[in-house]
Structure 1
Amino acid sequence: MGGVSAGGEAARRRLPQLRHQCGEEAAEGEGHRPAGAEIGDRGSGSSPHRSEVERWLQRLKDAYDGAEDALDLLNYNRLKRKAARRKERAVVRGQVIIRIAEEDWSDDKTKAMMWGYRHLPAHLQRCFSYCSLYPRGHTFEALQLVQLWMAQGFIKPDDQKKRMEDVGINYLNELVSRFYIQRHNRVSYSSGAYKFVSYYTLHELLYDLAEKVSRNYCVRIEGDRQSEIPSTIRHLCIPANKLNENKEEICKLKKLRTLIVTRGEGIKSKADGVANIPNSLKQFSLKKLRVLVLELNLENLAEFISEMKLLRILQVSSTREFMLPESVCTLYQLQVLRIKSASSLPKRLNNLVSLRYLEANSDIISAIPDIRKLTSLQGLENFPVRKEKGYELEQLQNLNELRGCLRIANLENVESKESAIAANLKEKKHLDTLQLAWRDGEDNVNSNLDVEILEGLQLPPYLTSLMLDGYRGQSCPSWPEYQTRNIQELALRRCGMLEELPPMDQLYPYCRSLELRHITILKAVHTLPPRLQNIAIFRAPFLTFVTNEDLQLSQDDKRSIGEVMRNRTQE
């Protein structure tokens, strides 16, 4: 930046005096806050009047007029350096700001925030304003919100090696830290444990701001409210029964990037105008569309889907089953496909090499042949192994972007240890939960091949949860300690031939939860994990726990104890 102007120098000299007069010294260490955050500083004792705030803002604007470098002394970048040390206090103050704005700014609640919005980085402005496309009070999941930003090209990583979703989460966290988006937590019960799950909303005050700043390129039509659709609109949310009403205006939208068609009020049958929706969509200019969300079960989807070559997200939410057309397989830039009501998928779906997320019934996902081609896929909840070509365990070899939970079923169809090694699980560094299942778990057939298969399936390096279901070996596999030491949850179910467990204090030092279910001939557990907190045992009639004192018993004592245990089981 060049030299500071005379006005800037004057403003810089006057800054301490302004700080004192406006009470800024009390807030010197605050982190990122929306413009007008100083209201909260002064309002902690008594609520400020609107006129006083307006005079204060006007004095700042006059002082810094024409001096960008002087303005930088007061904007968010200056305050960011000390945010970490006083984050908790900033959160409280942010809540006070919103409450005061609601009480005292009855004329224009968003005026105080508008000034701060103008100083947001451009990429955060786009991400924040896009949220106005959804209804007031809508709850967002972090990943789904980031996926929308990705589809629109809002996320620009500085480092090309960084994952787009990770950069998007950083954007979201920054908007939360600046109080533009609110984070909430709720308790959810999953996999036998209670966990905190986060979701995100926009406060009504900030939703008003998002609507105002996005009105030239983002429109949401609700109920009977009539809204103009300017030709500059890029993102549109509209009820199905309003499509024909606004057909002429929508046909003029040559740069439409997002189209969300909601069910709308009063839509119950095709007689309400739903039958003509495919024809309406076909008339629109959809070649540049990035996001298409349909909350209706539309027939003849193939008639207009094939021209959307730039589509990144396709979501069809319907209560009735439908068939996904073959034309979807030509959308080579598609990243997210949500079709939970689809009854079948096209055979050539593996052509979608950019697909990152596929949300559908697990049974129809397992019917996709040669799934190995989807190397960008990041979620695959269930993979049943078959003996048919295109469904072998080796299909997992190059799916190294998989994350979260993976269940590999029907392992009785794996024919050799080499096939298990070829699955290359050790390279799937983002998996944290693995479930390995055999269908014939109750047959009580000793299978040495099961042991070899488990040893060939080298565990992912950062695995925290492991389940074996229907395993038919007599002993556990000899996994090296570095593959099991991070496991915190271990479950063994229907392992009908398992007689003994290895020393668990060495293999599973960080295990907190242990489940033993239907282990009918397991006789002894010699050591338990040192950090164990929860243990659940079902149908393990011969199981005994061996302590250090037990190891010192004489042979006569051991025989006596064994006799007592046998009598108990016979009773």
Structure 2
Amino acid sequence: MSDEKLALELYRNLKGNKYLIVMDDVWNIRAWNDLEMSFPDDKNGSRIIITSRLDDVALSIKRVSTPHRLQFLTEDESWDLLRRKVYRKGECPSEFNEVGKDIAAKCRGLPLTIVVVAGLLAKKKNLDWWKQLAASLGSVLANSEQIMDILALSYEHLPLHLQSCFLYFGAFPEDSDILAYRLIWLWIAEGFVCPREQQITMEDLAEDYLKDLINRNLVLVSKKTSNGGIRTCRIHDMLRELCLRKAEERNLVQPIDWYKRVASPSTPISSNNLCFHSHGFHDLSENPLCTNICSRFFYASERTPPRELTTTSFVYKFLWALNLCYILLKVFPLEILQLFHLRFLELWIDHLDKLPLLISNLWNLESLIITKEEWDGVIIPVGIWKMVKLRHLRISEEIEFETLSNSGCPYLLNELQTLSALKLSHSGKDAEDILARTPNLRKLTFYRGPSKGGSFSLPNLENLSNLESLKLSENSWELTHSRIPQPNKFPENLKKLILSGGHLEWKEISKLGKLPRLEILKLRRNCFSGHKWKTGDGEFCQLKFLKLSWMDLKQWIITSTRHFPNLERLVVDRCKYLEEIPAVIGDVPTLETIEVYWSSRSAVDSAKRIQEDQKTKGNDGLRVISYSLDEKEASEECPVS
């Protein structure tokens, strides 16, 4: 029978009858499109239930109802399901409760895992067996072919360009939250991201890859950015085990754990492997069979004293990515400068005054991230300008470039997108010279340390047409006589602005209100000084997120919803003098959330009044999350902003 005749036969059998159809684990919209016309709608209460692991499929199929997203089970729900699966209609003996709850919690809310474990527990309903299983549950689940076969379907349905990206999660420790920017830069360094169009950057394409994995429910968002983007992500323990299995099959990831998974010293390691340590780096550094690996991660189980690396730690001449962000180093390891193929480098260093003169040896480097323990600045040598492939330079303390005058250096860093944190001088001219050589920046952080007074000028930024995020950190603004440039002196595409410190007059903020594309504004640590802020019409027309933190503001006056017409989220944090949040802000039609943390009781009460007032107007969607100075717990869980 042909497909057309089969579809017609199905329609005839269902016509006039009340039916329930369940289509389980649908992987593409085509399956639904082929069958949709076979389901008659006789308005008699018939229902169709469709399950899918893919958000795109669910959103494409929806007819009259919004897709229901299943969440992971809570620990109580997990224990309830486990108990019912093991004992069916019987009661679980009380002496099994403690170990049973422990087992349920280790299933991490995944129903599939709970059902498999319940089958094992049901075989022997004695306490010793349950305790034995609880102690070895991780390895038992990792070796469960039933679980792995089901999860493997998600991997097998991935397009090829996403498979390597997904397997890369196996290189990170279990239960770890992974910074999205770090993951994306590593993917790029490994060559997983290859744009087919010049209009999109590798970073934007990699972010699309990450969103695709999230929409396929393979990756979880742990924390979001202020604009709803991805700050950190993670994967379920069982999916991580799947990553390790598949990655080892492809010689992509070989986990080396000195205490759990000690590699045989006689086992060669493929040049395509990515090796990582959970507790240190000494065990592979002396293994000559490891010299051809392409990437290496080191993870410390706990904070360790600063240490120096031996020469044998860097016999890996073909490294593309080296991540030492969990190992505190005394100084910059000069041996790294021999790793000419390196594309990604992240270090955690106790003491660093200046990058090595020969840093330009790393001419393939795309991402350089350095976190410093000491709070002093770092000097960048002139040789940095020869590193023309550099895309991201991120150092935790202020950086100062060596003088370019008379250096005869012709190079521009046209690929550089991230620069943090550039030191400001009083004139701003030094910074202007740097910015003229980095014309395609998208994210820029300025830092200005303590000084003895006087004003300063922000360097000319209007030519940075790609700049979307600007941060002026710590004492970036001088205490007196400083002014914010006119709106036309800012980059035209600026979307995010963070100010911290400086004590500017509130009247200066009206210039920021005229920035045409500004969506995110964070004001911290009295960047504006004074007790009164009055906004005006036509200001902050595109602003979606506003955060006030550690401000001495008392009165905030808003007279019209036209002042913040597109505001979605307001966060007030540690503003202990603020008397109230303006009531009119509740009438902004786009407003979704007001958050007030560690601020005055009157500010918290005003937020709650706004919420109640909106309810009387029929707006039940406004959320208020509050935590006053004299409260021990927040009224709702505080999301990360």
TM interval, shorter chain, is: 0.5 to 0.7
- Specify the alignment match of 1:213 in structure 2: 246
1-side partners of 2:303 and 2:424: how far apart?
45
Q: 1:526 to 1:27 in 2, by over 3 A?
A: closer
1:274-313 correspondence to structure 2 within 5 Å = 277-282=309-314, 284=315, 286-294=316-324, 295-297=326-328, 303-313=334-344
Distance 1:466 1:287 in 2: 41
Q: Is this contact kept in 1: 2:328–2:348, CA < 8 A?
A: yes
State how far apart, in whole Å, the 1-side matches of 2:371 and 2:191 are.
26
Distance 1:394 1:414, change over 3 A: farther
* CA 29–202 in structure 1, closer or farther in 2 if over 3 Å, else same: closer
Q: Does 2:245 match 1:201?
A: no
Matched, 1:237 2:263: no
1:354 has 2:389 as partner: yes
Q: Is the 8 A contact 1:494 1:519 kept in 2?
A: no
Aligned match for 1:508, one of 516, 540, 544: 540
* Aligned-partner Cα distance in 1 for 2:380–2:499: 32
Q: What SS does the corresponding residue of 1:215 show, helix, strand or coil? A: helix
Q: Aligned equivalents of 1:168 and 1:134: distance in 2?
A: 18
The structure-2 alpha-carbon separation of the partners of 1:248 and 1:479, relative to structure 1 and needing over 3 Å to count, comes to closer
- Give 2:593's aligned residue: none
With over 3 angstroms needed to count, the CA separation of the structure-2 counterparts of 1:484 and 1:517, relative to structure 1, is farther
Distance of 2:332 and 2:472 partners within structure 1: 36
Compared CA separation, residues 12 and 321, structure 1 to 2 (3 A): farther
Matched, 1:171 2:209: yes
Is the 8 Å Cα contact of residues 278 and 298 (structure 1) preserved in structure 2?
no
Does residue 1:137 correspond to 2:184, yes or no? no
Counterpart among 165, 174, 182 of residue 127 in structure 1: 165
2:46 corresponds to:
none
For 1:398-417, list aligned pairs within 5 A. 399-404=438-443, 406-407=445-446, 409=448
Which residue identity lines up with residue 347 of structure 2 in the other structure? V
Conserved? CA contact 2:389–2:415, under 8 Å: yes
What's 2:432 paired with?
393
Greater helix percent: which structure?
1
C-alpha deviation, 1:157, in angstroms? 1.9
Partner of 1:568: none
What's the CA shift string for 1:170-218, capped at 9, x where partnerless? 2122222223x33134489x8xxx9896532222222221111121522
Decide which of 495, 500, 521 is 1:463's aligned counterpart.
Answer: 495
AA at the equivalent of 2:202 = M
How does 1:322-401 map onto structure 2 within 5 Å? 324-341=355-372, 344-348=378-382, 349-363=384-398, 365-367=399-401, 369=403, 373-386=412-425, 391-397=430-436, 399-401=438-440
Equivalent in the alignment of 1:54: none
Which amino acid in 2 is paired with 1:461? Answer: N
SS of the equivalent of 2:268 reads coil
- Residue number in structure 1 paired with 2:263: 227
Residues 474-527 of structure 1 show CA distances to partners (whole Å, capped at 9, x for unaligned) of: 96599598635745647595768x99999711233456758696799x999998
Contiguous gaps of at least 5 residues in structure 1: 1-8, 34-75, 548-571
The alpha carbon displacement at 1:289 in A equals 1.2
Q: Name the larger-Rg structure.
A: 1
Change (3 A) 1:537 1:505: farther
User: Given the superposition, is the C-alpha separation of residues 501 and 30 from structure 1 closer, same or farther in structure 2, using an over 3 Å criterion?
Assistant: same
Native 8 Å contact 2:330 2:350 kept in 1: no
Change (3 A) 1:11 1:322: farther
- Matched with 1:247 is 287
CA contact (8 A) 1:31 1:79 kept: no
Contact 2:534 2:556 in 1 (8 A): no
Q: SS state of the match for residue 310, structure 1?
A: coil
Q: 1:409 to 1:144 in 2, by over 3 A?
A: same
Distance verdict in 2 for CA 1:527–1:318, change over 3 Å: same
The verdict on how the C-alpha distance between 1:161 and 1:248 changes in structure 2, with shifts beyond 3 A counting, is: same
Q: 2: CA distance between counterparts of 1:12 and 1:156?
A: 41
* Alpha-carbon distance change, 117 to 513 in structure 1, aligned in 2, over 3 angstroms: closer
Distance (whole Å) between structure 2 residues aligned to residue 467 and residue 160 of structure 1: 33
Kept in 2, the 8 Å contact 1:402–1:431? The answer is no
| SS of aligned partner of 1:506 | coil
CA-CA distance at 1:150 after TM superposition: 0.8
TM-score, length-scaled by structure 1: 0.63
Offset of residue 258 of structure 1:
0.4
SS in 1 for 2:173: coil
Q: Is the CA contact 2:394–2:421 (under 8 Å) kept in the aligned structure 1?
A: no
Indicate how the Cα distance of structure 1 residues 84 and 405 shifts in structure 2: closer, same or farther if over 3 A, else same.
Answer: farther
The superposition leaves residues 394-439 of structure 1 with CA deviations (integer Å, 9 ceiling, x where unpaired) of 5324545434564475996657xxx95x432562442266679775
User: Larger deviation: 485-494 or 531-540?
Assistant: 531-540
Q: How far, CA to CA, are the matches of 1:340 and 1:131 in structure 2?
A: 23
Q: What letter is aligned with 1:140?
A: I
Where 1:427 maps in the other structure, the secondary structure is coil
What residue is the counterpart of 1:553 in the other structure? none
- For 1:153, the equivalent position in structure 2 comes to 191
- Match status 1:427 vs 2:484: no
Change (3 A) 1:177 1:385: closer
Q: Secondary structure at the match of 1:26?
A: strand
Give the partner amino acid of 2:263.
S
Aligned equivalents of 1:502, 1:269: Cα separation in 2:
50
Q: Counterpart of 1:317 in 2: which secondary structure?
A: strand
Cα distance in 2, alignment partners of residues 17 and 129 from structure 1: 44
CA 1:325 to 1:477, structure 2 compared with 1: closer, same or farther past 3 Å?
A: closer
Task: Go from structure 1 to structure 2 and tell me whether the alpha carbon gap of 1:342 and 1:111 turns closer, same or farther (over 3 Å shift).
Answer: same
> Unaligned stretches of 5+ in structure 2?
14-18, 30-51, 73-108, 120-140, 585-641
In 2, the alpha carbon distance for the partners of 1:486 and 1:478 equals: 13
TM-fit CA distance, 1:379 = 2.7
What amino acid sits opposite 1:312 in the alignment?
A: R
Q: CA separation in 2, counterparts of 1:501 and 1:538?
A: 15
| Structure 1 position 259 matched with structure 2 position 296 | yes
Equivalent pair of 2:448/2:476 in contact (CA under 8 Å): yes
How much identity, in percent, do the aligned residues show? 16
Where 2:538 maps in the other structure, the secondary structure is: helix
The alpha-carbon distance between structure 1 residues 476 and 525, as it changes in their structure 2 partners (threshold 3 A), is farther
Structure 1 letter corresponding to 2:367:
V
Task: Give CA-to-partner distance per residue, 1:100-123, whole Å, 9 cap, x none.
Answer: 455558742312333553342222
CA distance in 1 between counterparts of 2:322 and 2:402 reads 23
Instruction: Say whether residues 1:182 and 2:213 are aligned partners.
Output: no
Offset of residue 318 of structure 1: 4.4
- SS state of the match for residue 117, structure 1? helix
- The one-letter code of the counterpart of 2:323 is V
Amino acid at match of 2:241: D
Distance 1:383 1:467, change over 3 A: same
Shift of 1:128: 1.5
Q: Is the contact made by 1:475 and 1:499 (CA closer than 8 Å) also made in structure 2?
A: no
Code of the aligned partner of 2:262: Q
Aligned residue identity for 1:208 = E
